[in-house]
Structure 1
Amino acid sequence: MAVIKIAIYQKNLHKRFTPDEISKIQQSKAHFLLLPEGYPHFFQSANPSDASKHEKEYQDHLLEISEKFSGVILGGSHYRTNEEGKLVSALPIVQSLVLVDFYEKKTPNPELDLGTKPGTTESIFIMGGLRFGVLLGDDLNNQSIWEEFQKENIEIIFHLDTSRKERTYEDDLNFYETLAKTKNIHLIRVCGPSDSIPARSLYASPSGINWKVGKVEEDKDVFKTLSVNVMRSYLL
């Protein structure tokens, strides 16, 4: 068994990290930092195609964090045109001032991800000595990804998400608790508040809800470092 330290930052999608906040991340000495779907989004963009023009600025801010934080950063998401010329929603993965890889969202949201194509990247990564799965937004409902996780015996999954107003706070807790128990996984979700959209970050495991933001924190920035015990996914 290994203990993995995972820092999650429930962060307003439109606000940069301050030097003090980056220092807080550095002091956590976590192995991973998770940022919400849609972070960073600093520019008023009419559509995903327009937003993709700011790709470098988004990535530069993640690299600012990486200057102080030596762990793996799963850096939210932004729109970009990939090597195949397709507009996608992509999750940049950064470590030690290097943009290591991208995870591309496989299940675009018809209302949010206008004009984007489903990604074709792998959903399973090995970094920081850990083998883990990644879900971005509506990928949570993609059955083929879950079949891949089950086939590969993935124990820990990071869900970078945007909360939906149609589910209540209690509905979200029940949904994730049931999902983690049914699939026997550690599922860590991070969201970011934006434009009155609630943020409901949490950690669900086979034993239930291990941590969650409170109802009064749905519209706030919240930083939390979790210690997660993994049996199968840690690589010596």
Structure 2
Amino acid sequence: MAVIKIAIYQKNLHKRISPEEISKIQQSKAHFLILPEGFPHFFQSESPENAAKHEKEYQDHLLEISETFPGVILGGSHYRKNEEGHLVSALPIVQSLVLVDFYEKKSPSASKEPGVVPGKTESIFIMGGLRFGLLVGEDLENEAIWKEFKKEDIEIIFYLSYADEKRSYEEDLTYFESLAKEKSIHLIRVCGPSEGKPARSLYASPSGINWKVGKVEEDKDVFKTLSVNVMRSYLL
């Protein structure tokens, strides 16, 4: 069994991480830093196509964090044109000032993300000695990804999302508690507050909800370092 330190930042999507906050991230000495879907979103863009023009600025901010944080950054998500020229919602993976890879969202919303096509990258990655799965937004409902996780015996999944406003705070907890038990996984969910939408970051495992933001913290920035015990996924 190995203990992985995972820092999650429930961070306002439209506000930069300040030098003081970067120092706090560094001091966590975590192996991973997880940022919410849609972070960093500093520009008022009327469409994903327009937002993709700011790809470099988004990535530069993540690299700024990586200057002093040696762990793996699973850096929110932004729109970009991939190598095939397709517009995708991409989760950049950064470590040691290197943009290592991208996870591309497999299930973009046609109504919320016009012009964005499903990504074709792998859903399972190995970084920092850990083998883990990634989900962004609506990917949570994608059965093909879950079948792959089960086939590959994936134990820990990082889920970058917006809160689902169809569910109440209590319903969200029940949903993720049941999901973690059913799939026998550690699921770490990170959300970011934005324009009045709630953020409900949490850590669910087969034993239940291990950590959650309080109901009064749905609209706040919250930084938390979790210790996660993994049996099968640690490779070193």
Counterpart in the other structure of 1:39: 39
Where does 1:140-219 land on structure 2 (aligned, <5 Å)?
140-219=140-219
Counterpart in the other structure of 1:58: 58
Counterpart in the other structure of 2:92: 92
The two structures, once aligned, show a CA RMSD in angstroms of: 0.4
Identity %: 78
3-state SS of 2:145 partner: helix
Question: What is the distance in 2 between the residues matched to 1:110 and 1:85?
Answer: 18
Q: Which runs of 4+ in 1 moved over 3 A?
A: none
- The answer (yes or no) to whether the contact 2:110–2:116 under 8 Å persists in 1 is no
TM-score of the aligned structures, taking structure 2 as reference length: 0.99
Aligned length: 236
Deviations 1:84-115 (A, max 9, x none): 01000000000000000000000001232111
Does 2:20 correspond to 1:20?
yes
Question: What is the distance in 1 between the residues matched to 2:134 and 2:8?
Answer: 14
> Deviation at 1:141?
0.3
3-state SS of 1:210 partner: strand
Question: What is the distance in 1 between the residues matched to 2:211 and 2:160?
Answer: 16
Question: What is the distance in 1 between the residues matched to 2:167 and 2:59?
Answer: 31
Which residue identity is paired with 2:200? R
Question: What is the distance in 2 between the residues matched to 1:104 and 1:79?
Answer: 9
Question: What is the distance in 2 between the residues matched to 1:38 and 1:3?
Answer: 28
Question: What is the distance in 2 between the residues matched to 1:202 and 1:11?
Answer: 13
Deviations 1:18-77 (A, max 9, x none): 111000000000000000000000000000000000000000000000001000000000
Question: What is the distance in 2 between the residues matched to 1:28 and 1:176?
Answer: 26
Residue ranges of structure 2 left out of the alignment (5+ in a row): none
Which residue identity is paired with 1:24? K
Which residue identity is paired with 2:228? V
3-state SS of 1:103 partner: strand
3-state SS of 2:53 partner: helix
Counterpart in the other structure of 2:131: 131
> Deviation at 1:164?
2.0
Question: What is the distance in 2 between the residues matched to 1:222 and 1:139?
Answer: 24
Question: What is the distance in 1 between the residues matched to 2:127 and 2:166?
Answer: 35
Question: What is the distance in 2 between the residues matched to 1:12 and 1:169?
Answer: 19
Question: What is the distance in 2 between the residues matched to 1:195 and 1:110?
Answer: 21
Counterpart in the other structure of 2:5: 5
Counterpart in the other structure of 2:110: 110
Which residue identity is paired with 2:69? F
Counterpart in the other structure of 2:226: 226
3-state SS of 1:69 partner: coil
